[in-house]
A and B are shown apart, each in its own frame.
Chain A
Amino acid sequence: MSGIAIKATSVVKSFGEGSAKVMALKGLEFEARFGEMVYIVGPSGSGKTTFLSVLSGILRPDSGTVLVEGADIWSMPANALAAFRLNKIGFVFQDYHLFPRLTTIENTAIPLILRRRDWDQSLREALGYLDIVGLKERAQLPPVKLSGGEQQRVAISRAIVGQPDFLVFDEPTASLDGETGRSIVRFVKEKVLNDRRCIIVVTHDSRIYEFASRILTMEDGKLTGTMPVPA
């Protein structure tokens, strides 16, 4: 599968009203294919995270369309959109947002539990994904007992446990040291990305640029071009 995974057309998003109105996205056009790991890079305040939120169905644009596998996600009712996110999109947040009161395996199983899967079955499947990210032995520990890199890997296992078609990473290496960040992204490229999946990464960490399929630059609410992927 190497068709168009996601296509955004004329996406506009603003915040505030009147004189305080800020145009965050100014008519963006975007396309990504399955099998790609697309980076969106740019300075803080350029609208990267806003754009990622619009693409992943959690922030409604003022105008424009977002087609995911051909479906216009912003024409969906709220519950249908929530179900779409649950089944099609995996999220890795900048601060991971793991539940400190749950064990690592329970954190990983959350998307399956939200899909109304049996609890024990969900945990069994989650354990398999923890094995993939190399944390099987730490399955019963709470996230606070894990290092930053390990927590990031738990967040990744939570994102992929439901086998989503799209993964969105928001500043995945912001809280990690250089080597750990690189190893995490290398792991994602080697073990998570495949030709049935599309990954979009928002970052301004140039140390991980080498793992991108494409790098798009963004500035002042617009995609301004591409930059070469370092060898």
Chain B
Amino acid sequence: MKGIFRLAFKLLVNDKAKFSALIVGITFAVFLMVQMTSLFAGILDHSSSTVLNVGATMWVMDPSVQTVANSIGMPDYVLDAVRSIPGVKFAAPLYSGVALLKLPDGAWQAATVIGLDDSTLFGRPELIRGKIQDIYAENAFIAVYDSEFKKLGNPQIGSELQINDHRARIVGIAKVNVSSLFGLPTLYTTYYRALQYIPNPRFTISYVLVEPKTPRDIPAIKKAVAKIGYRAVTKSEFIGMISAFYKYQTGIGTNILIMTVISFLVGLSISGQTFYTFIIENLEKFGALKAIGATNNELVAMILFQAAFTSLTGYGLGIGLCTLLVTLAKVRLPSYASMITYFNLAVAFVMVLFIAGFSSYVGVRRVLRIEPFDIFRS
């Protein structure tokens, strides 16, 4: 079969105009599909940044909470109640809110403020400059060095800014795994300092972070928390909740899905039509091969090879183009939320296989129907 595939390859690539049209069609279809799904994956990843960065095994929250950014304050007794549940190794409060900062140059900038449990600092970030114990110093805040860091005016240790007319001093620079979705810089401080600096409603605990004694204790903890009218979820469940919110309740998921389907249809129509034209133009030649002695199986193998080669080449180029553009975009816009995941690649691959299958199908049908006698009769 090697020679037959080589024959098919030459027939395909030597028709430069059609081959180029096929490759361009599939490349752009793959590019658009991967771009769309990667953008969505990036949005979902960034939307769960606080959950990922804090890293607690379980999160206790008000049952109405849908995303980590929109917490609903809980009374202090919830913390005590959770700590008293058998199976809880330890529990710590977490404050999460947004504050308006006044920078040294007089500009205003919103920022996410995370208040860590004063006694344990559970969920603290990894510092790249400064010492964690300095967080207990007067007016101390730790700035997160991520893509939004420069919005704080590139502060150094010792830099000062204002939060609600309170002086705040940067005592450390930290790094986190994932930046936030909404382009806000992040500051860490202690739980009680966060309450002092930021105006708050009656209930102040955003989340209770829980470490179970063993993974087997998780179901019992969930039940016990539910009994007091709150909800306990694992980290992955919380990320799933946030993803579901953005997928199904914001329209982002639907729009991305529509764009992905449109990209797929564009690729399908361009590639299918071009490949079909390619087959039609070579139909007599396939008929001649059939007359000479090629079997239907060999002709089908040739067409499948041509479709597979075109599709996989277009797939590779599409992925490459998408990677290049995402990389370039991230150089210019560090917070650009796009992430090429294996799942995205698999989705695009399945769609490309479908395009290849469809294109081959229409071609194979015509080639199988042609009779060698038609070649004589022509």
Q: Which residues from chain A sit less than 8 Å from chain B, CB to CB?
A: 49-50, 52-53, 56, 58-59, 78-79, 82-87, 89, 91, 93-95, 97, 99, 101-102, 106, 110-111, 113-114, 116-119, 122, 170
* A86, B292: Cβ atoms closer than 8 Å: yes
Is residue B373 contacting chain A, with contact meaning CB distance below 8 A?
yes
Please tell me if the beta carbons of A49 and B292 are within 8 angstroms of each other in the complex.
no
CB-defined contacts of A82 to chain B, threshold 8 Å? 290, 293-295
A110 touches B289 (CB 8 A): yes
Q: Are B285 and A114 in contact (CB under 8 A)?
A: no
- Which A residue's beta carbon lies closest to that of B293? A86
Residues of chain A within 8 A of B298, CB atoms compared: 114
For this complex, 15 residue pairs linking A to B, each with C-beta atoms less than 8 Å apart, are A58-B371, A58-B373, A58-B376, A59-B371, A59-B372, A59-B376, A78-B295, A79-B295, A83-B293, A84-B293, A94-B378, A101-B14, A110-B7, A110-B292, A114-B298
In the complex, the answer to whether B294 meets A114 with C-beta atoms within 8 Å is yes
Residues in A with CB closer than 8 Å to B377 are 49
- Take A53-B376, A93-B288, A116-B3 as given contacts and tell me if A102 and B11 are in contact as well, using a CB distance cutoff of 8 Å: yes
Given contacts A102-B10, A110-B292, is CB(A94)–CB(B3) below 8 Å?
no
Q: Smallest Cβ distance from B73 to chain A, in angstroms?
A: 72
B330 within 8 A of A: no
How far, in Å, is B377 (CB) from chain A's closest CB? 6
Residues of A contacting B126 in the complex (Cβ-Cβ under 8 angstroms)? none
Instruction: Please report the C-alpha to C-alpha distance between residue A79 and residue B297 in the assembled complex, in whole angstroms.
Output: 9
A95: chain B residues at CB < 8 Å are: 284, 378
Given A101-B11, A102-B14, do A119 and B288 touch, yes or no (CB 8 Å)? no
| 9 cross-chain pairs, A with B, having the tightest CB-CB distances, nearest first | A86-B293, A101-B14, A97-B288, A58-B372, A113-B3, A59-B373, A85-B293, A53-B373, A82-B295
Q: Please indicate the chain A residues that have their CB under 8 angstroms from the CB of B289 in the complex.
A: 110, 114
Q: Which residues of A contact B375 (CB under 8 A)?
A: 93, 97
Query: How far does the alpha carbon of A169 sit from the alpha carbon of B285 in the complex, in Å?
Result: 17
The answer to whether A52 touches B4 (Cβ under 8 A) is no
What is the minimal beta-carbon distance from A98 to any residue of chain B, in angstroms?
8
Determine if B1 is an interface residue (Cβ-Cβ < 8 Å): yes
Contacts A86-B292, A93-B288 given; indicate if A52 touches B1 (C-beta within 8 A).
no
Q: A86-B293, A91-B292, A110-B7 are in contact. List 9 more A-B contacts (CB 8 A).
A: A58-B372, A58-B376, A78-B295, A91-B291, A97-B287, A97-B375, A101-B15, A102-B14, A111-B292
In which size bucket is the chain B interface?
Answer: 20 to 34
By beta carbon, the residue of chain B nearest A95 is B378
Is there a chain A Cβ closer than 8 Å to B6's Cβ? yes
CA A89 to CA B290, docked complex, whole Å? 12
Residues of chain A within 8 A (CB-CB) of B3 are 113, 116-119, 122
**CB proximity of B123 to chain A, nearest CB, Å:** 64
In the assembled complex, the Cα of A26 lies from the Cα of B292 at a distance in Å of 27
Residues of B within 8 A of A (CB): 1-4, 6-7, 10-11, 14-15, 284-285, 287-298, 371-373, 375-378
B376 contacts A170, C-beta separation under 8 Å? yes
Q: How far is B296's CA from A84's CA once the two chains are assembled, in angstroms? A: 14
User: Which of A49, A52, A78, A110 is packed against the most chain B CB atoms within 10 Å?
Assistant: A110
Set of chain A residues within 8 Å of B1, measured between Cβ atoms: 116
Chain B residue at smallest Cβ distance from A59: B373
Bound together, the chains give a CA A226 to CA B372 distance in angstroms of 29
Distance of A86 Cα from B14 Cα, bound (Å): 25
Q: How far is the CB of B306 from chain A (nearest CB, A)?
A: 12
CB distance from A57 to the nearest CB of B (A): 9
Question: Which residue of B has the minimal Cβ distance to A90?
Answer: B292
| A83 to B295 CA separation, bound complex (whole angstroms) | 8
For B2, the chain A residues whose CB sits under 8 A away are 119
A58 adjacent to B291 (CB under 8 Å): yes
In Å, the complex CA distance between A192 and B294 comes to 24
Indicate which residue in B4, B15, B373, B378 contacts A113 across the interface (CB closer than 8 Å). B4
What is the CB-to-nearest-CB distance from B295 to chain A, in angstroms, rounded to a whole number? 5
* Residues of B contacting A89 in the complex (Cβ-Cβ under 8 angstroms): 293
Q: For A93, A111, A116, which residue has the most chain B Cβ atoms within 10 angstroms? A: A93
How distant is B207 from chain A, measured CB to nearest CB, in Å? Answer: 66
